[in-house]
Structure 1
Amino acid sequence: MNSSSASISFSAYGSLRRYNAALLVCISVLYVSCLCVNLFLVLVIWRESGLHRPMYVLLVHLCLSGVAGSSSVCPHVIRLLLADRPRTSLAWCLTQVFFINVYSGCIFCILALMAYDRYVSICKPLLYRSIVTPARVRALLLLVYLSLGWSSAAQVVLTSRLRLCRHTVDKLLCDSLVVARLSCESSAAVSVFGLCSAIWVVLCPCVLVLGSYLRILPVLLRGSGASRARGLRTCTPHLVTFVNFSAVSFFGVIYNRLSDRVPEAAAVLTCVNFFIVPPLLHPIIYGIKMQEIRQSVKKMMKKKMIQM
């Protein structure tokens, strides 16, 4: 078993030294903006009792998952950009693997729950309150967090048992594939478990989302103009969010497999594109597209202006 005191060096930072100042400013501004936008939307939903409904509860968890994902990576990248010798302990590297896995799984699973919520709301509106109850939403969210926590912890434990022969990686951060490539021998257990986990946290939610919209689309097409417009208003933010995160996840997987053949700048773009852009865009998309959120924001702003 590896010692938690072993260190991992990140060679990718060496080739980016001349861009350090620009990268620090860019990543810091994007990260702070991500925190502010997500926490503001969470505050709006928390303050407005009219938004205490399943769809908005899921949106709060989507925002918090984005904050957790970007916070597990951005401070680490900023710290290594400032360091003379970019390195971290193996224990912290494995901790980052855990949170990255939970983050990506949470986004897909919560988007799947949101798709099911839209399906019931549009296709079975009379049964919505009896099917999508607050207690059931809480139970499903708890199931998501427990299952993702367990699978991520199991993958970290399996990865930590690999004996490392190398301690230098050519990326900006850690993931399970990075650590596995440092080992002296290939591990079928890690590979098989990683594949099964990916199927569970990515493929199954994607199938649920696609299945939900295959049911929703005919209902919208058969409805009146007003009901079709209302349905599209509630579905569009979710679809844009799902397509956006699926696209950045796909390119992230491609980069992981071809990282030895692409320029170092791709490491920065992949990091920003996966851990900052989606959490930053998701609350903005919902804030712009969903009328109830816009109205709640305007109401809060008016109250603040009156109090001033």
Structure 2
Amino acid sequence: MGNTTEVTFFILAAYGDHGQIKYLYFSCLLLLYITICLANIILISLIYVDRSLHEPMYVFLCSLFMNELHGSTTFFSVLLLHILADTHEIAIAYCNVQSFFLHAYGTTEMYNLAVMAYDRYLSICHPLHYSSRMNSCKMYSLIVFTWSFAFFKFVIPMSLRLQLPLCGNIIDKLYCANYALVRLSCQNISLNNILGVFSLVLSVAVPLIPILFSYVNIVRICYKSPKEAQVKALNTCTPQVISLLYFSVSGFFEMVETQFDLTYVPQLIRNVCMVYLFACPQILNPVMYGVRLTKIRNAFKKRFFPNSTE
């Protein structure tokens, strides 16, 4: 065991000193964050006020957009503050809070995508029984489970991590991540690693099962259906598949960057990839769904451009 250090704050070492260019970074990232907030809030509000969008597919989308706001706000609240700061210290309490909510964001994202895939599976593969299988009670139960499970799942790993004695306080990231904090421990972290793998399985592997099951069956049904039905099914499923792909890519980099030493990769590249995880899905999802889904486009035009014509 190394020399235990009484840690009251952590240092986010990935920021560095960017001189006057930090104001440009701050302006660009602030604009990005404002855009993320506006895009997601507009679609959440649209789904809430337009009764034609009170269907499971759009309610699940609303849950997804709320999670994008949750994840980006947790990330950008630290990022924007530290870009302009001369020192990059973060209080241990706030670091723990950020770590908790960012972890919950990732799990909620995967389970939201799983629920949305299951909803599309029922709609396309069992259209005659869709209304009975995806009623309001089941819809809201899935949403409550998605959010509550994501938060409660992380309680035990985080509780064990909080008990670890620390031998340092330097984190080579833009934000606080649970495993980055675990690696600062002076003692054996085998139990934490085992729980981390188990948590990763629950966050990624478990929701992937209904996602793969749903899309395999959707593809099978589409292959046997008329071309018009195929096009309609693909139009509703394609945004979800794209969401899954670019969230998975960014999440994969996060896991690799946390588990392995990537100091040989330029810091700027690593920072861009970190920002990508908490910025690109959050801006691309509302834009993509807003553009590709006809009912959302029509509801948007009706609310904001009532005098426009097709």
* Bin for the TM-score computed over the shorter chain: over 0.9
Other structure's SS at 1:9 match: strand
TM-score normalised by the chain length of structure 1: 0.94
Letter in 1 for 2:289: Y
Written as runs of structure 1 = structure 2, the 5 A alignment for 1:130-209 is 130-209=132-211
CA separation of 1:64/1:154 partners in 2, compared to 1, >3 Å: closer, same or farther?
A: same
Give the secondary-structure state (helix, strand or coil) at the position aligned to 1:236.
helix
Q: Match for residue 82 of structure 1? A: 84
Q: Which segment is superposed worse, 32-41 or 266-275?
A: 266-275
Whether 2:23 is the aligned partner of 1:21: answer: yes
Report the equivalent of 1:252: 254
Aligned partner of residue 240 in structure 1, secondary structure: helix
Computed over aligned residues only, the root mean square deviation of the Cα atoms, in angstroms, reads 1.8
Counterpart of 2:295 (choices 292, 295, 305) is 292
Instruction: Name the stretch that deviates more: 119-128 or 170-179.
Output: 170-179
Q: Counterpart in 1 of 2:267?
A: 264
Please give the alpha-carbon distance, in whole angstroms, between the structure 1 residues aligned to 2:86 and 2:235. 50
Deviations along 1:45-99, one digit per CA (max 9) or x if unpaired, are 1111010011101100100001000100112111111212110111111111100
1:17 Cα deviation from its structure 2 partner: 4.2
Q: Is the 8 A contact 2:22 2:83 kept in 1?
A: yes
CA distance in 2, matches of 1:217, 1:124: 14
Q: 2:277 corresponds to which residue?
A: 274
Identity %: 28
Counterpart residue identity of residue 96, structure 2: L
Q: Residue 240 of structure 1 aligns to which amino acid in structure 2?
A: I
Q: CA deviation at 1:44?
A: 1.0
Across the two proteins, how many residue pairs are aligned to each other?
304
Q: Which amino acid aligns with 2:272?
A: L
Of residues 99, 102, 110, the one that matches 1:100 is 102
Query: Gaps spanning 5+ residues in structure 1: where?
Result: none
- Does residue 283 (structure 1) correspond to residue 301 (structure 2)? The answer is no
4+ residue stretches of structure 1 with deviation over 6 A? 2-5
- 1:288 & 1:200 partners in 2: Cα distance? 32
In structure 2, C-alpha distance between the alignment counterparts of 1:281 and 1:4, rounded to whole Å: 42
Give the partner amino acid of 1:83: A
For residue 59 of structure 1, what is the aligned residue in structure 2? 61
Residue identity in the other structure for 2:264: R
